Amino acid sequence: MKKIIIANWKMNPKTSREAEILARGISEAAKNSKNCEVIIAPPFVHIRAVRSVKLGAQDVFWEKSGPYTGEISTLQLKAYGVSLVLVGHSERRALGETNEEINKKIKAVLESGIKAVLCVGEIEKQKEVAFPVIIHQELKEGLRGINKSLLKNLIVVYEPVWAISTHGKADSPKNVFEMSVLIRRELLKMFGKKTAFSIPIIYGGSVDEKNAADFIKYGRVDGLLVGAASLNAKKFIEIIKRVSEL
Ligand code: PGA
């Protein structure tokens, strides 16, 4: 299976011109990599500017159309060729997004045929390896009532909040491996073995060109979610290259 590398640009860059230049810089490396699937999730306003690379989105609303000022639907994203949507990023949860809302979004995304990337992770660093209750809830409530047949388009990101570059330092590949096993076990309890093993689990949190390959090699995850380092074409290309070389 190809490794999934998602760039989460958050609320950057300022102009579509900058977005276009950044995306163009990345597009060749993205196309040349045979074993990586590279997706950029820009802010909605830059979606057109990023068309040289596979497109993702950072959020979505669950209704298809109607009186929802400020929201964007899966239909609209599809019309722009968006193939993947991040759902439940911790920065959105911090703004008040609930597991119930996340569940509605995941359902809408999967039903539309777009890939849904459910973000889960604990807020504080743990002293010992145990499965955090918060991740249990994020998975259970976020994926409640979802038809098993739709889960082939689900990706889970383990992204501990404390490891995001604006909060602290990256997790260790060893811990990422252990947490991904615990997440997989939880998915197994919820959906059975076959489905659980078909869901890619990726890691996010201060991924850069120096640690990217180790998360894949020793953390044994199926891909990476990259924030800050994805806004620097040189660094992001190096991440793609190092993962491609594995
Ligand atoms: P970071 O962000 O790579 O800057 O830590 C990752 C994310 O929040 O998705």
How many Å lie between the centroid of ligand 1 and the Cα of residue 133? 22
Does the pLDDT value for residue 239 go beyond 90?
yes
In the reported structure, the alpha carbon of residue 123 is separated from the centroid of ligand 1 by a whole-number distance in angstroms of 14
- Ligand 1 and 121: CB distance under 6 A: no
What predicted TM-score, i.e. pTM, was given to this entire model? 0.97
- Is residue 94 scored above 80 in pLDDT? yes
Nearest CA to ligand 1 atom 3: 227
> In angstroms, what CA-CA distances link 177 with 95, 171, 181, 227?
29, 10, 6, 20
Closest ligand 1 atom to Cα of 204: 6
Indicate which atom in ligand 1 lies nearest the CA of residue 164.
5
* CB distance 118 to 150 below 8 Å: no
Residue 52 is predicted with a pLDDT of 86
Residue 60 near residue 85 (C-beta atoms within 8 A): yes
Cβ within 8 Å of residue 73, ≥6 positions away: 60, 61, 63, 64, 65, 108
Percent of the chain exceeding pLDDT 70 equals 100
Mean predicted lDDT score pLDDT of the chain: 96
Q: How far apart are CA 198 and CA 103, in angstroms?
A: 20
pLDDT at 166 over 80: yes
What the chain holds in terms of domains, given with CATH numbers, is 3-244 (3.20.20.70)
- pLDDT for 107-163, tens place per residue? 999 999 999 999 999 999 987 778 899 999 999 999 999 999 999 999 999 999 999
Whether 159 sits among the annotated catalytic residues: the reply is: yes
Cβ neighbour number for residue 152 with a 10 Å cutoff = 11
How many angstroms separate the CA atoms of 77 and 194, rounded? 30
* 50 CA from centroid of ligand 1 (Å): 19
What average pLDDT does this structure show over 215-241?
A: 97
